[in-house]
Amino acid sequence: MTTLQPPAAVDRTARPSLKRDRRSWTGWGFVGPFVAVFALVFLAPIGYSIYLSLFRDRLIGGNTFVGLDNYQQALQDDQFWAGVTRVGLFLLVQVPIMLGIALLVALALDSGRLYGKNFFRISIFLPYAVPAVVATLMWAFMYGTRFGLVGDINDAFGVSLPDPLSPDLILASIGNIVTWEFVGYNMLIFYSALRVIPHSLYEAAEIDGAGQLRVITAIKLPAIRGALVIATIFSIIGSFQLFNEPSILKPLAPNAVTTDYTPNYYTYTLSFNGQQHNYSATVAIVMGLITMVIAYVVQLRGMRKGA
């Protein structure tokens, strides 16, 4: 697998042990640099997190080995599960909306019936180029009922719009920001997948008398299923890792965004405010496992349909 076999006839009689030795070393030589970097930046942090999660460092009593106690605690931690439920809800509502819009835009661009196609493509992609921090701050000021766009609308029309930063609406407000940021990115994935579909298929469809809708459902969508699955998996991971938006909105809506708002925010609070590094590592690992399982299930399902 790692090296080419020498021509079989020549070396049959050579000492096999020596040859096997040399072969394995050559292989390692090629893989070595990768393995070293992989181990250093990928395996070592995970290993260290797992190591950390087996201890408990307390203000009183110091650092002790506690085995799987932290995991047991995490599984029964209401704050953690409330966060998981929240991002789960976010995932179920926001991701379909975002991918739906992205798909519509990509199909519209691909249809070739749009004037100013390049302009639309760039302007829809542009929000992705805005750093998440800037985007969130920008939206936060628009959301403000006292100083922002919402406040101005209220004043100008004498209405009283609901406060987007209130506890009931803030998750939707965050969803709006994330959608705005990532529609362009997903659109580009879909659009580039659409561009590689052979034109002969469309011509064949036209000869068969298929309309645009039929072309979309019978040719375009099946052809970009791979891209759809990938985009969905990225979005799932993105939702579970929700952190920037709530943490930036926190100073503006201190009572709506709690310190355990999302699992990532919770681990941040545990670690940096509570000095509970061990438990924080545990929560991070559990969340990582949940994300992996869900992403894997989606991939399996998506690919099976595609086959």
Partner 1 sequence: MSNNTRRLLRGIGLVCALALGATACGGSDDGGSGDKKVSAGDIQAALKKGGSITVWAWEPTLKQVVEDFEKDHPKVHVNLVNAGTNKDQYTALQNAISAKKGVPDVAQIEYYALGQFALTKSLDNLSGYGADKLAKTYSPGPWNSVKTGDAVYALPMDSGPMALFYNKKVFDKYKIAVPTTWDEYVEAARKLHKADPKAYITSDTGDAGFTTSMLWQAGSRPYKVSDDGTKVGINFSDKGAATYTKTWQKLIDEKLLAPVNGWTDDWYKGLGNGDIATLVTGAWMPANFVSGVKNASGDWRVAPMPQWTKGDKTTAENGGSSLALPAAGKNKELAYAFVEYANAGKGVQTRLKGGAFPATTKDLQSKAFQDTEFPYFGGQKANKIFADSAANVGRGWSYLPYQVYANSIFNDSVGKAYVSHTPLAKGLKAWQDASVKYGKEQGFTVSQ
Binding site for partner 1 (CB under 8 A): 58-63, 146-147, 166-167, 251-252, 254-256, 258-260, 269, 272-276, 279
The 10 Å Cβ neighbour count of residue 259 is: 16
Our CB check for partner 1 shows the closer of 130 and 252 to be 252
Least distance between partner 1 and beta carbon 58 (Å)? 4
Of 292, 189, 166, nearest to 174 by C-alpha is 166
Least distance between partner 1 and beta carbon 23 (Å)? 36
Spatial separation of the C-alpha atoms in residues 286 and 280, rounded to whole Å: 10
Our CB check for partner 1 shows the closer of 12 and 78 to be 78
Least distance between partner 1 and beta carbon 255 (Å)? 3
- Beta-carbon-side half-sphere exposure of residue 299 (alpha carbons within 13 Å): 12
Least distance between partner 1 and beta carbon 271 (Å)? 10
Start-to-end Cα distance in the chain: 27
Our CB check for partner 1 shows the closer of 18 and 159 to be 159
Least distance between partner 1 and beta carbon 62 (Å)? 6
Our CB check for partner 1 shows the closer of 21 and 168 to be 168
Buried/exposed 62-91: b ≥16 CB within 10 Å, e otherwise: eeeebeebbbeebeebebbeebbebbeebb
Our CB check for partner 1 shows the closer of 78 and 207 to be 78
The 10 Å Cβ neighbour count of residue 176 is: 18
